[in-house]
Amino acid sequence: MLDGTYVAMVTDFKQGSLDLDGVRALARKLIDGGVTGLVPAGCTGEAATLSTEERVAMIKAVLEERGDNANIKVIPGTGTNSTASSIELTRIAEDLGADAAMLITPYYNKPTQGGLIKHYETVASNVKLPIVLYNVPGRTGVNMLPETVAELAKIDNIVAVKEASGSVDQVSRIIAESDITVLSGDDSLTLPMLSVGAKGVVSVVANVVPGQVSRMVSAFLEGRADVAREIHLKLLPLMHVLFVETNPGPVKALLKMLGHGTGEMRLPLVPISSESAKKVRDVMHGVALL
């Protein structure tokens, strides 16, 4: 089961190019922080602007940093708005030795629910790798409904869904209608989602505080809800400020403040404004990250 804390990794850039040294350093920090797994080349990793060669290089780098540590799962983002290219990227991840692949619902195309089923069925039938569905309607323009998830959960190698619709009600319906593993895709809703049966999170804030997010999830799953609630409330301001502008701008800015990376984004995304940077810095001091 893919339960626990997974990190939606940022992608480090330097002067426009992929910074593999930065990617490796972040991977080591997150592994040392006690997370369950790493998710390179997803939305937080600016995957839509990565070339295939860059994706491959990043996945390889993360897998190499993981090494033979079987406790750490690597689940790259391999979804695009093309079924054919999603198959190609998922096969590459499989060949490289990834543990699973995360596939976002096709963006821009706005497929129907029938189209989503056909898309994922087609990818799943062309690979053996376990597949994690990824529903984030705020970015894709389409919401994968609970009944669609339930239908896809019947496919053997579709094993989990990262649910980022912002609706705990939707998570409740998914869990009621299927036995698929649900992972939170919204940091501030992770604890509420866990309370209705989710098993973990694919976290943005864990780029910065991997240990605290891991402890929160573990505490809840081990029956220590009071400890999980305490950590959740402590981290809530950080969870909110990291979305003051489009992700991953704020988290990249915060990582730079803490001494990691350049904060560089790839167009059409740009670094956050000075006003937003001040908000991030204020929260950083408020939660004693320095």
Q: How confident is the model at residue 290 (pLDDT cuts 50, 70, 90)?
A: low
User: pLDDT digit string (tens) for 202-225?
Assistant: 999 999 999 999 999 999 999 999
Q: Which CATH architecture has domain 4-225?
A: Alpha-Beta Barrel (3.20)
User: pLDDT digit string (tens) for 161-218?
Assistant: 999 999 999 999 999 999 999 999 999 999 999 999 999 999 999 999 999 999 999 9
Beta strands in the chain (DSSP E): 4-8, 13-14, 17-18, 37-39, 73-74, 101-104, 131-135, 158-163, 181-184, 200-203
pLDDT of the residue at 25 = 98
Indicate if 29 belongs to the active site: no
Q: How confident is the model at residue 287 (pLDDT cuts 50, 70, 90)?
A: confident
Q: Which of 73, 107, 120, 162 is catalytic?
A: 162
Q: Which of 107, 120, 134, 252 is catalytic?
A: 134
* Burial status of residue 135 (CB atoms within 10 A of its CB: 0-12, 13-18, 19 or more): buried
Average pLDDT over residues 259-279: 97
> pTM higher than 0.85, yes or no?
yes
How many Å apart are CA 128 and CA 158, to the nearest integer?
10
Q: What is the DSSP string of 73-122?
A: EE--B---S-HHHHHHHHHHHHHHT-S-EEEEPPTTT---HHHHHHHHHH
Q: Judge whether residue 289 has pLDDT over 80.
A: no
Q: Judge whether residue 75 has pLDDT over 70.
A: yes
Domain segments of the chain as ranges: 4-225
Q: Judge whether residue 279 has pLDDT over 80.
A: yes
Indicate if 279 belongs to the active site: no
CA distances from 172 to 108, 162, 198, 202 (A): 27, 13, 9, 18
Average pLDDT over residues 65-74: 94
